[in-house]
Structure 1
């Protein structure tokens, strides 16, 4: 009988106050870009190293769009698959967005 592997949730303790990632899932054309940049700039103006990446597979209004923010006191700018905070505003991708969330 074949064994099925279940996906184990990632468990990770935050290593510090300014070490976390935020994934924001919305719909293209919803005006979320302004809100995303406001969050990014607020963190940056507090003097905390931060990077952001907009992921939009299509420019068609209503299709999924994600914005990923990485806050890293060490200055790391690369995105992480796992997220410490998920803002799931798109019902079509809610389950997928939730799968990226770190347990705990």
Structure 2
């Protein structure tokens, strides 16, 4: 279910709040400068003292093809990637539909 900003909290506060325990994937296009931006976000979380790991997924090194950057924040220090996304930052319209399949129920999508 997708809610806009004006109706997002009419049902009350979010249930099952997670703190420092989520997976976020940034979906972009190779060659767009996304690797630098993704690494900056990862380092920012790390310097805040939050246990975090990141993985850049390049199926191809050809400019213009899809790429993904997965960030896992784990209060318990887990480093492995997980099969779902709690947050998706979608900046690649070519993979939008496929990427949404990995979003958990109640997850967040930025487009």
Match of 2:72 in 1: 70
Asked if 2 retains the 8 angstrom alpha-carbon contact of 1:14 and 1:20, the reply is: no
Q: Aligned-residue CA RMSD in angstroms? A: 1.3
TM-score in terms of structure 1 length:
0.84
Unpaired stretches in structure 1, ≥5 consecutive residues: 1-12
Moved over 3 A (4+): 13-16
Which residue does 1:102 correspond to in 2?
104
TM-score normalised by L of structure 2: 0.79
**RCO higher in structure (CA 8 A, sep ≥6):** 1
